[in-house]
Amino acid sequence: MTSLSAPDPTLAAASPQNRDLALVLQAAIAHHQKQEYDEAAALYASIIDAEKDQLDAHYNFGVLLMQTGKPGDAVPHFEAVLGQAPKNGQVWIYYINALVGSQQSEAARLALDLAQQQGLPDTVVRTLRARIDGTEVPEPEATQEKPAAIAPQPAVREDAPPPAEPAEPAETDTDASTRTKLDTRRASLKEMRQFQHLFNNGKIDAALKVARRLTERYPAHGDCWFELGRTLHRIGDHAGAIEAAQHAARLLPDRIGIHITLTNWLYTARRFREVETYCRQALEKFPESGPLHRNLGIALQEMGRYADAVAEIRRAVELAPNSAHECDALANSLLKQGLFEEADTAFRRALELAPMEAITHSNLLFCRMHKYDLDPDVAFAEQREFAARHEVAFRAHPPRHTNDRNPSRCLKIGFVSGDLVNHPVAYFFLSILEHLARDPGLSIHIYSNYAVTDSFTGRIRVHAKTWNEISGMTNDAVAQKIRDDGIDILVDLTGHTGRNRLVAFARKPAPIQASWIGNPCTTGLDSVDYYLSDRFVTPLEQFESRFSEKLVFLPALAPFKPHPKAPRVNELPALKNGFITFGSFSRILKIGPEVVALWARVLREIPDSRMVIGAITSQEQMAKLTGLLLSEGIEISRIKFLIRGSVEHYLLQHHLVDVCLDTFPFGNSTTTMQALWMGVPTMTLPGTSMASRSSTGWLSHLGLDSAFVAQDKDDFVRKCVALAADPQALAVVRRELREYCRQSVLIDARAIADAAARAFRIMWQRWCDGLKPEHFEVLAQASEAPAAEPEQQQEPEPEAVGGIATLPNHIYQIHYSDETREQVEPGFVPLDNTGLRPDWREYWPIRRFLLEEPLDPNARYGFLSPRFAVKTGLTSDDVFSFLSTVPDDVDVVTFSPFFDQAAFTLNVFEHAANVHPNIAPVIDEVLKIVAPDIRISDVIMSSVETIFCNYFVAKPAFWAQWLEKCEQIFELAESGDTPLAQRLNGDVDYERAGVGAAPSKVFIVERIASLILATQPGWKVRQFDPVKIHMSNSAIARFRDELLALDALKHMARATGFSQYLGAYRERRAQLEIFMRGGRLASKT
């Protein structure tokens, strides 16, 4: 092969800056990988036009043509490779298959003879000869060799899609060989080609029928299962696709591409724990696979294991330093951790390797928005570079739009987004969409670029006339779909963020295109005509030259919708505390060294001030911020870190804060408005980018800009000092701020939606008149009624018996995965324990919290398992409603299920011995150490002292006692290979529950709270009515009256110490046991 010193002009579309052909090839392979065949084919062809002897391009183009059902067109490309690499067995196989597929049997026989002379193994020759002759493919011998890979080997990516025809005629795995001998049936080349033709031409329903038929006819042919998976994935059946790919992976264990695809699909389905499991299993077989390390890393990232994630992805880059995918994954991981400089470098390396990879380019631009000292002119030039790469090819032949130019007709408005799930963009959009959908002059069509959906997706979907899932489609196909749908105005809601479709917009499928809400930045595309904003966020004189689009000014950028359960605004904390408390609830990645340095200046200027930093999701984040603050000389005792919780809990945390401090250069938007609704203004420092001015926009609409919008860093500090010096003025702002918001346009979704509809009509009328896009403003029209949610009437809190309920209750619900995260009750704070010591179940996250988090002695804490609602039948509203009646002097509040078990058994340890076979001796050994003075057979527990599943809320003093005893058990279990440690870590069955087995230590730990209550009578306890909570599935649960009697007898035995009550309990229980075995229950008086 030869190399060009300067690219041919024909490559300009693919490589506008005369980049090396190798980079264009990488881009082609990247498109090929993602089955974007049209884009890949165009790039391969352009390379070959410029360099006739570019073997890699010929080889990969030939494979693509085979995959797209064009074997005749593939033949000359394989011939070009064989002309210079005649000993490459892999190419001979493809070449001969291409000849067979194009009905050139004689040529195929001649080629096979030549291939055999070049060293093609006999077993492969026999297989190919059978295909040429149309006879049954012979069963391979156990000693069959694989085709030799003889240099020069064309570049074939290990994670490229598996070819339509198996490159190897048989599997070499022992088990696979055994299966082959049991079932040697394989789909023929003709059958596979029929499937490929349907699939590649978009006839997915027909392709699915063929794929299902192939798997039924050839159940041991792994390629058939993989193709079924590909088809199911295309139609959005991710669970079915994964199941099919799992089957293919079992049948073809040596096919690394299938393993990689399987983990890709598991990741898309957000089944991160399974991604980890499959990657680790596959890495045992393929330890040097970059894509597998990459997929493992990005799954670990999603589970919050950041250090492990980066280590895995760095390993992927080490193994595949020239892989754009690996470099891009590393860059994204670094970006999510706020390491912008490193991320910038990694994104640029990925873009060098794949210069036409649009998502990588968008990610780089998004990363650059966080750069503190980025010159705005440089930033705009970089955004325009995106257009130079991805739009220039379509400028020479702009599409002709045939939409009816009637200026007053109903308009088809298309919205494209990858965030139509529980996401801030979706919240803003839904508020507008609810009103746009009612406009008779508009027809709403939505194009969703995200295969994952949730309950919020459904709330959006009901307002669309048509809903289109485009995540599996190529950009060409998306653009053609939009053209076919006759969309008049196409609106991008994503910008340069993940899952965007800006490359489809570059094809100008609609006559008018706009961007809105998704990203505070220009798209850089000439094909996007307008950007919808407001005059405070993007003042025309400052941003006219920094947007490729024309700016359309709405009354506000987008409406804010207050949370319906937002707490009431409290009094300014500074009035009670005697000092000012600053706060931040920003995404942690926005808080860089420059931001912390400015915050530290404020804290130093106001020595008695404090700061609350919320939205913490990991210890790593807390450690990072602690280090930055210490480096600025700030004592950590002045800082309080708060973990991210439910929305209600997050809003309640504003009760601790007097003023929020904004981040820069990427400021807050939703976070600022949430704080304003809670009466907390934000001090902000706008810069030269739109991303830095979101808070400025909100504050300016409310007339707060003079006090809270700083001109520079010095002004930022001066304004904070002034606020601290006048808490009474700040208190007035706090008391009136929610009403300011209520009366403003910021939460008038109807007014903003009406303005947007009028803006769409103005855009359309200009197009109908042949006028170019231009800046314009649409003013608000008076709404008939306030758009804000009416503030909920606050019922007076009930007075509790024996005192007033004022104590705060912090209740966390543990989750182990995305599935269990979705089970967290809205009122509880999620407590993530994904992938962390599952052998300890709930004890591990509770232990970690109690050891690491400071507890308020004047509060109660609870830690509930994911199945709390299932086991109890209670909601978070039930829990908090009951807690509101509990006096402050109560130490422990219980919500224990299974009253039947609590009443029937003497105590929880007797219960354990009944339901967990072989656990009794372990309990005896443990209690001799944990409670040496207690004889457990003498301990009576009524339902008041009985707590199953750790379903209780308690003050820190009780938790300290609980933790002390549980830590003794923890040390025993972690002490190595002692007999007791082995028994504690050994599984016991859970027969009556039907849930399999778990370690003994888990069932013992969950009974420690009951032990403390039963043996330390000084604790004050309140119990949720146990008969209103779910009972077990045991037969005794039917005998409610008898159970109430048994429980009452135990209670009296504890209260009086009189033995006759215990005797009566034992007698009555025995009678109940006899009755349940078929006898008759005696009457008791």
Token couple for 1034: 């045991």
Q: How confident is the model at residue 183 (pLDDT cuts 50, 70, 90)?
A: low
Alpha helical stretches, state H, 606-712 = 619-631, 647-652, 670-677, 694-701, 705-708
Alpha-carbon distance values, 1007 to 432, 839, 1027, 1028, 1064 (Å):
52, 17, 20, 22, 25
Token couple for 554: 């709405």
**Higher confidence at residue 984 or residue 606?**
606
Contacts of 409 (CB under 8 A, 6+ apart): none
The one-letter amino acid at 1000: S
Contacts of 1063 (CB under 8 A, 6+ apart): none
Q: Per-residue pLDDT tens for 664-720?
A: 999 999 999 999 999 999 999 999 999 999 999 999 999 999 999 999 999 999 999
* Site of tokens 């325009």: 384
Q: Is pLDDT above 50 for 596?
A: yes
CATH for 182-249 (3.30.830.10, 1.10.1740.10, 1.20.120.610, 1.25.40.10): 1.25.40.10
Indicate the Cα dihedral angle 251, 254, 256, 261, nearest 10°: 0
Query: d(Cα 128, Cα 109) in Å, to the nearest integer?
Result: 9
Collapse the DSSP code of 469 into the 3-class scheme (helix H, G, I; strand E, B; otherwise coil) and give the result: strand
- How would you classify residue 802: left for phi > 0, otherwise alpha for psi between -120 and 50, otherwise beta? left
Question: What is the predicted pLDDT for the residue at 803?
Answer: 42
Most confident residue range from 41-45, 144-148, 537-541, 968-972: 537-541
> H/E element holding 366?
helix 358-368
Least confident range of 140-149, 259-268, 829-838: 140-149
Contacts of 827 (CB under 8 A, 6+ apart): 646, 648, 649, 811, 875, 876, 877, 879, 880
Least confident range of 270-279, 301-310, 504-513, 988-997: 988-997
Q: How confident is the model at residue 543 (pLDDT cuts 50, 70, 90)?
A: very high
Three-class SS of 169-226:
CCCCCHHHHHHHHHCCCCCCHHHHHHHHHHHHCCCHHHHHHHHHHHHHHCCCCHHHHH
Q: How confident is the model at residue 914 (pLDDT cuts 50, 70, 90)?
A: confident
Alpha-carbon distance values, 666 to 158, 671, 692 (Å):
38, 12, 5
Cis status, amide bond into 921, omega within 30 of 0? no
Question: What is the predicted pLDDT for the residue at 164?
Answer: 36
**Higher confidence at residue 170 or residue 187?**
187
The one-letter amino acid at 627: G
Contacts of 161 (CB under 8 A, 6+ apart): 32, 33, 35, 67, 230, 257, 261
Query: What pairs with residue 641 in β-bridges?
Result: 613
Question: What is the predicted pLDDT for the residue at 630?
Answer: 96
Alpha helical stretches, state H, 71-121 = 71-84, 89-101, 105-117
Q: Per-residue pLDDT tens for 869-910?
A: 888 988 887 888 888 888 888 899 999 999 999 999 999 888
The CA-based angle 725-730-732, given to 5 degrees, is 140
Question: What is the predicted pLDDT for the residue at 972?
Answer: 87
Q: How confident is the model at residue 1 (pLDDT cuts 50, 70, 90)?
A: very low
Q: How confident is the model at residue 988 (pLDDT cuts 50, 70, 90)?
A: confident
Q: If you average pLDDT over residues 750-775, what whole number do you get?
A: 97
The pairing of strands 892-894 and 952-954 is antiparallel
Query: d(Cα 351, Cα 359) in Å, to the nearest integer?
Result: 10
Token couple for 171: 């599997």
Most confident residue range from 248-252, 521-525, 859-863: 521-525
Q: For the chain, what percent of residues have pLDDT higher than 90?
A: 50
Collapse the DSSP code of 340 into the 3-class scheme (helix H, G, I; strand E, B; otherwise coil) and give the result: helix
How many CB atoms sit inside 10 A of residue 790's CB?
9
Pick from 1070, 1080, 1065, 962: nearest CA to 1013:
962
Cis status, amide bond into 152, omega within 30 of 0? yes
Query: d(Cα 674, Cα 669) in Å, to the nearest integer?
Result: 9
Q: If you average pLDDT over residues 611-615, what whole number do you get?
A: 94
Q: How confident is the model at residue 838 (pLDDT cuts 50, 70, 90)?
A: confident
Length of the chain: 1085
The CA-based angle 999-1000-1005, given to 5 degrees, is 105
Cα radius of gyration (the chain): 34
**So where are the chain's domains?**
182-249, 398-553, 573-746, 799-1037, 1039-1085
Architecture of domain 573-746: 3-Layer(aba) Sandwich (3.40)
Residue 961 CA neighbour count, 13 Å, CB half: 17
Question: What is the predicted pLDDT for the residue at 300?
Answer: 93
Query: d(Cα 875, Cα 887) in Å, to the nearest integer?
Result: 21
Q: What share of the chain is helix, strand, coil (3-state, %, to 5)?
A: 55, 10, 40
* Site of tokens 């706060």: 583
How many CB atoms sit inside 10 A of residue 208's CB?
21
In the sheet with 776-777, reading across from the earlier edge strand, the strands are: 466-469, 442-448, 411-417, 489-492, 512-516, 530-533, 550-553, 776-777
Question: What is the predicted pLDDT for the residue at 182?
Answer: 53
Token couple for 785: 């009624």
The one-letter amino acid at 398: P
Cβ-in-10-Å burial (0-12, 13-18, 19+) of 874 comes to: buried
Pick from 567, 572, 568: nearest CA to 583:
572
Q: Is pLDDT above 80 for 723?
A: yes
Average pLDDT of the chain? 85
Same fold, 182-249 and 573-746: no
Query: d(Cα 882, Cα 894) in Å, to the nearest integer?
Result: 10
Least confident range of 201-205, 238-242, 397-401, 709-713: 201-205
The CA-based angle 140-146-150, given to 5 degrees, is 150
Question: What is the predicted pLDDT for the residue at 779?
Answer: 92
Collapse the DSSP code of 328 into the 3-class scheme (helix H, G, I; strand E, B; otherwise coil) and give the result: helix
Query: d(Cα 304, Cα 809) in Å, to the nearest integer?
Result: 26
Full DSSP string of 538-561: S-HHHHGGG-SSEEEE-SSSS---
Query: What pairs with residue 831 in β-bridges?
Result: 814
Token couple for 800: 């509790």
Q: How confident is the model at residue 144 (pLDDT cuts 50, 70, 90)?
A: very low
Cβ-in-10-Å burial (0-12, 13-18, 19+) of 183 comes to: exposed
Q: Is pLDDT above 70 for 970?
A: yes
Q: Per-residue pLDDT tens for 389-432?
A: 999 888 888 899 999 999 999 999 999 999 999 888 999 999 99
Question: What is the predicted pLDDT for the residue at 994?
Answer: 43
Query: d(Cα 1039, Cα 1046) in Å, to the nearest integer?
Result: 11
Collapse the DSSP code of 579 into the 3-class scheme (helix H, G, I; strand E, B; otherwise coil) and give the result: coil
Looking at CATH, the fold of the domain delimited by 398-553 is given as Rossmann fold (3.40.50)
Query: d(Cα 1049, Cα 446) in Å, to the nearest integer?
Result: 65
Q: If you average pLDDT over residues 470-475, what whole number do you get?
A: 88
Predicted TM-score of the model (pTM): 0.60
Token couple for 1015: 């043996």
Q: How confident is the model at residue 821 (pLDDT cuts 50, 70, 90)?
A: confident
Q: Is pLDDT above 80 for 106?
A: no
Q: If you average pLDDT over residues 784-813, what whole number do you get?
A: 50
Q: Is pLDDT above 80 for 835?
A: no
